[in-house]
Amino acid sequence: MPKVLVADALSDVGIEILRGAGLEVDVNTGRTEEELARLIGAYDALVVRSAPKVTPRILEAAHRLKVIGRAGVGVDNVDVAAATRRGVIVMNTPMGNVISAAEHALALLLALAKNVPGADASMKAGRWDKKKFTGVELADKTLGIVGMGKVGQIVAKAALGMSMKVLAFDPFLPERRARELGVEPVALDPLLERADFVTLHTPLTDQTRGLINAAALARMKPGARLVNCARGGIVDEAALAEALRNGRLAGAAFDVFEAEPLPADHPLRSAPNLILTPHLGASTEEAQAKVAEAIARQIAAFFQEGKIQYAVNLSVTLTREMEPFAEMSKTLGRLLAQLTPKPPQRLTCAALGRLAADDTRALSVFALQGLLASCTDQPLNLVNAPVVAEQRGIAITEQKSLDSRDYASLVRLTVETGETSHTAAGTVFEGREPRIVEIDGFTVDLKPEGFMLVLFYPDKPGMIGRFGTILGDAAINIAGMDVGRKEKRGRACVALSVDDPVPPAVLEKLRACTDTGEAYVVDFR
């Protein structure tokens, strides 16, 4: 039974779903890195929110770990690169708290415009500073949104409802979609220069870290206001504090910070006209229940069905149509690994026919799984197969063509070692039946299962009989056979499906019998 460690506070609904799926669940929160490193070796899955840091040290000790579930959107507290090297899938719940995050950004936007926190504090101190806290209207003002994902789109819709003009900076937002949303797509600099309010809704990446630095703050419209409910690290916090002190900005409201909890002596704590909240964007009863339920269902589906959902370190997705061809790619990779005794230097993965019209990136990743499975002792999956290939210096080439002469769709793999090159192709017939249809240019028709012998030999009378005699003498039954040749008396290939393993001594006799020395056993199990 898979074991799940819940290392952070998680709504009861999530715990119930995990246990209801037949998983063994331990709730053990508030642990240090050292304590988690001691515990993690006994678990197949880890669930966190934002408190525990999943470090390389913890992952190094995670011998059984297969999946990390982050109950929330950001994965800043998980070393995704280290998890990927270990072949651990990292999942998040990108939809669970989008409404709460958007609402919090809007709450800060309104509080900032109307000076709500300062007025509240003044009243509670016994004062009536009505003139001091004069605010501004949002209607007819310009809002600049950096990042137009789900949260950014909800904020845009609300802002438009308050009669604001909305500018949007997002390199991945098509102009057609921008028009549908009613926003004006612009580059970052014009957005900063034109917006009265700027709100950030982009993930923290190498490209967005420090995106709003001193130079960007200097470009902002004098008297503008900045809201950040996205991620700490996107804004240069020291530069922000200075911009508030010198009056360049009229105000700012932040829910996220580079270091959390925010240090007591941090300059933002004493900066003027700044609203601070302790990372409350997802802290609603509804959001916590949603993300707990979502991550629990994702982990349950992973162990029950092998389904991978919202994996942040998996670059490929599988449609129902692509799935059988991806499995065929893995099978072909396994076949070629056993025909190629020397280390591979290049893998070429070609998608031909109707298949090429779809996103075929998954094919090469599955092919790597099959190709590398027998040459590494570490767990190999869709997450770390490309990393292992890169470490071994294997170049990957992907090809696509809508032309396929004999089959509606075809996958063809070629593996080169520097000295030799082998090719295999396969298709999937109606009913999702996989077939290997080509080996090194020879046409065959084989179902990939059990054991298979592949022999290359000169095409002359009696050769097949000699192979059969050797196998018969060894009490190895031939279940199926397919012979391929390109010309009479030339080079030929025979693929024999056999019911039993082929001992090394029998393989040596077959190899000597081929006159080419090319005899291979392929285990598809």
Task: Find all residues with CB under 8 Å of 194, minimum gap 6, and list them.
Answer: 142, 144, 167, 186, 221
What is the per-residue pLDDT for 352? 92
Question: Is the C-alpha dihedral spanning 174, 179, 181, 184 positive or negative?
Answer: positive
- % of residues, the chain, pLDDT over 70: 98
What is the per-residue pLDDT for 257? 96
Q: 381 or 29: which carries more pLDDT confidence?
A: 29
Q: Do 378 and 467 reside in the same domain of the chain?
A: no
Query: Cα 485 from chain centroid?
Result: 43
Q: Do 323 and 468 reside in the same domain of the chain?
A: no
What is the per-residue pLDDT for 522? 84
What is the per-residue pLDDT for 94? 81
Among 225, 231, 334, 422, the active-site one is 231
Q: Do 336 and 272 reside in the same domain of the chain?
A: no
- pLDDT-based confidence at 520, cuts 50/70/90? confident
Question: Which pTM was predicted?
Answer: 0.63
Q: Do 396 and 416 reside in the same domain of the chain?
A: yes
Could you identify the residue written with the tokens 């105000």?
251
pLDDT in tens, 222-263: 999 999 999 999 999 999 999 999 999 999 999 999 998 999
Q: What's the whole-number mean pLDDT along residues 196-215?
A: 93
For residue 93, the SS3 value is coil
* Window from 162-166, 206-210, 236-240, 431-435 with minimum mean pLDDT: 431-435
> Which among 448, 476, 510 is the end of a domain?
448
How far apart are alpha carbons 343 and 137 in whole angstroms? Answer: 68
What is the per-residue pLDDT for 377? 54
Among 35, 184, 193, 260, the active-site one is 260
> Which among 383, 413, 448 is the end of a domain?
448
Among 19, 279, 346, 511, the active-site one is 279
pLDDT above 60 for 112: yes
pLDDT mean across residues, the chain: 91
What is the per-residue pLDDT for 379? 60
Q: Do 204 and 110 reside in the same domain of the chain?
A: yes
Tokens of 290: 């949603």
Of residues 405, 318, 416, the one with CA closest to residue 363: 318
Quote the number of domains for the chain. Answer: 4
SS3 content of the chain, % helix, strand, coil (to 5): 35, 25, 40
Tell me: cis bond preceding 261? Omega within 30 of 0 counts.
Answer: yes
> Which among 448, 476, 498 is the end of a domain?
448
CATH number at residue 499: 3.30.70.260
What is the per-residue pLDDT for 380? 67
- Would you call 231 a catalytic residue per the annotation? yes
CATH number at residue 346: 3.30.1330.90
Contact 298, 122 (CB under 8 A): no
What is the per-residue pLDDT for 176? 86
How far apart are alpha carbons 229 and 99 in whole angstroms? Answer: 12
What is the per-residue pLDDT for 376? 62
Domain span at residue 346 reads 315-448
pLDDT above 80 for 432: no
How far apart are alpha carbons 272 and 270 in whole angstroms? Answer: 6
Q: Please name the amino acid found at residue 160.
A: L
For residue 347, the SS3 value is strand
Of residues 445, 456, 459, the one with CA closest to residue 487: 459
Specify if 310 maps to a domain. Answer: no
pLDDT above 90 for 430: no
What is the per-residue pLDDT for 208? 92
CATH number at residue 201: 3.40.50.720
What is the per-residue pLDDT for 106? 98
Q: Do 117 and 197 reside in the same domain of the chain?
A: yes
How far apart are alpha carbons 510 and 520 in whole angstroms? Answer: 9
Q: Do 181 and 290 reside in the same domain of the chain?
A: no
Specify if 15 maps to a domain. Answer: yes
How far apart are alpha carbons 522 and 472 in whole angstroms? Answer: 19
Specify if 460 maps to a domain. Answer: yes
Of residues 158, 149, 281, the one with CA closest to residue 168: 149
pLDDT above 60 for 378: no
Q: 522 or 122: which carries more pLDDT confidence?
A: 122
Q: Secondary structure of 13-76 in the HEC alphabet?
A: HHHHHHHHCCCEEEECCCCCHHHHHHHHHHCCEEEECCCCCECHHHHHCCCCCCEEEECCCCCC
- Whole-angstrom CA distances from 267 to 84, 270, 271 are 36, 6, 6
Specify if 133 maps to a domain. Answer: yes
Count Cβ atoms within 10 A of the Cβ of residue 217 and give its class: 0-12 exposed, 13-18 middle, 19 or more buried: buried
* Window from 139-148, 277-286, 383-392, 440-449 with minimum mean pLDDT: 383-392
Specify if 281 maps to a domain. Answer: no
Q: Do 429 and 519 reside in the same domain of the chain?
A: no
How far apart are alpha carbons 62 and 37 in whole angstroms? Answer: 7
Q: Do 299 and 345 reside in the same domain of the chain?
A: no
- Would you call 64 a catalytic residue per the annotation? no
Could you identify the residue written with the tokens 């990939």?
448
Spatial strand order of the sheet with 433-439 comes to 395-401, 346-353, 409-416, 421-429, 433-439, 442-446
Of residues 460, 519, 514, 522, the one with CA closest to residue 485: 460
Task: Find all residues with CB under 8 Å of 515, minimum gap 6, and list them.
Answer: 457, 458
What residues pair up with 401 in beta bridges, in sequence order? 352
For residue 196, the SS3 value is coil
Run of H or E including 185: strand 184-185
How far apart are alpha carbons 97 and 119 in whole angstroms? Answer: 29
Contact 412, 424 (CB under 8 A): yes
Specify if 25 maps to a domain. Answer: yes
Specify if 455 maps to a domain. Answer: yes
What is the per-residue pLDDT for 358? 85
Tokens of 335: 């076949």
- pLDDT-based confidence at 374, cuts 50/70/90? low
Contact 18, 4 (CB under 8 A): yes
pLDDT in tens, 253-286: 999 999 989 999 999 999 999 999 999 998 899 9
pLDDT in tens, 461-502: 988 888 889 988 999 988 888 887 877 888 889 888 888 888
DSSP per residue over 211-279, as a string? -B-HHHHHHSPTT-EEEE-S-TTSB-HHHHHHHHHTTSSSEEEES--SSSSPPTT-GGGG-TTEEE-SS
pLDDT in tens, 360-372: 888 998 999 888 8
How far apart are alpha carbons 399 and 107 in whole angstroms? Answer: 50
Q: What's the whole-number mean pLDDT along residues 43-63?
A: 94
Q: Do 197 and 222 reside in the same domain of the chain?
A: yes
- Would you call 70 a catalytic residue per the annotation? no
Specify if 522 maps to a domain. Answer: yes
For residue 517, the SS3 value is coil
pLDDT above 70 for 19: yes
Q: Do 358 and 464 reside in the same domain of the chain?
A: no
Q: Do 105 and 254 reside in the same domain of the chain?
A: yes
